[in-house]
């Protein structure tokens, strides 16, 4: 793939807790990597985690989660649109679940960081505002980019955020990889 020299590094969290979760993650990995303005440079192992819910007694199917690091020539808003198109292709209906933040979903792609930029628009906030509260994001991210700087309001590295994270939800590394032709070590 011939990306122009005018690219930045973006990190994207992938999660799924409906349908064939692993197939959804792998499809999103392939869709991102096949986009002409995106090249994945690192992909974490896949982790299984309990779903975060809005209420203490709520239950939801467990998630599979991973993080990818990519070079992209897309501006942040266009990268967001690509992510949302991939989610939609997987069956996610953002409008139907707009009022249900904790609703199960076939695929969830979140832009964690975009270069060292801080973005705060109606459509996009980067760094992702809740990334520091999510071990299921920080652990796989730390596997591929522990020393990556996360801009304000965090102003620290991924590894330091993981060490400070108070999320106690169960998290288990699986033997699966996003690239369906290989498996992560167990």
- Give per-residue pLDDT as tens, 115-151: 999 999 999 999 999 999 999 999 999 999 999 999 9
Give catalytic status of residue 92 as yes or no: yes
pTM of the model: 0.88
Q: Which of 26, 105, 134, 135 is catalytic?
A: 105
Question: Could you confirm whether 71 is annotated as catalytic?
Answer: no
Q: Which residues pair with 119 in a beta bridge?
A: 126
pLDDT mean across residues, the chain: 87
Q: Are strands 149-150 and 156-157 parallel, antiparallel or unpaired?
A: antiparallel
Work out the average pLDDT over 10-18. 94
The angle formed by the CA atoms of residues 110, 114 and 120, to the nearest 5 degrees, is: 75
Distance in angstroms (rounded) separating the CA atoms of residues 125 and 110: 10
Tell me the pLDDT tens digit for each residue of 83-124. 999 998 887 665 655 445 556 778 999 999 999 999 999 999
Answer yes or no: 108 catalytic. Answer: yes
Catalytic residue among 20, 21, 71, 92: 92
- Top pLDDT among 186 and 133 is at 133
Strand partners, 177: 45
* Domains of the chain and any CATH numbers: 8-177 (3.30.70.560)
Tokens of 58: 């709520």
Catalytic option among 21, 26, 108, 143: 108
């Amino acid at each position: 793939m011939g990306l122009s020299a005018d690219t930045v590094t973006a990190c994207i969290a992938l999660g799924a807790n409906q349908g064939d979760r692993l197939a959804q993650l792998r499809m999103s990995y392939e869709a991102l990597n096949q986009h002409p303005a995106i090249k994945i440079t690192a992909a974490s192992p896949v982790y299984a985690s309990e779903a975060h819910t809005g209420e203490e007694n709520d239950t939801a199917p467990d998630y599979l989660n991973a993080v990818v690091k990519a070079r992209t020539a897309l501006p942040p808003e266009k990268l967001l649109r690509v992510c949302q198109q991939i989610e939609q292709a997987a069956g996610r209906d953002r409008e139907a679940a707009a009022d249900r933040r904790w609703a199960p979903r076939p695929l969830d792609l979140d832009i964690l960081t975009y270069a060292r930029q801080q973005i705060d628009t109606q459509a996009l906030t980067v760094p992702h505002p809740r990334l520091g509260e999510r071990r299921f994001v920080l652990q796989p991210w730390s596997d591929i980019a522990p020393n990556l700087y996360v801009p304000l309001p965090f102003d620290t590295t991924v590894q330091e955020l993981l060490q400070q994270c108070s999320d106690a939800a169960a998290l288990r590394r699986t033997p699966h990889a996003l690239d369906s032709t290989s498996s992560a070590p167990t």
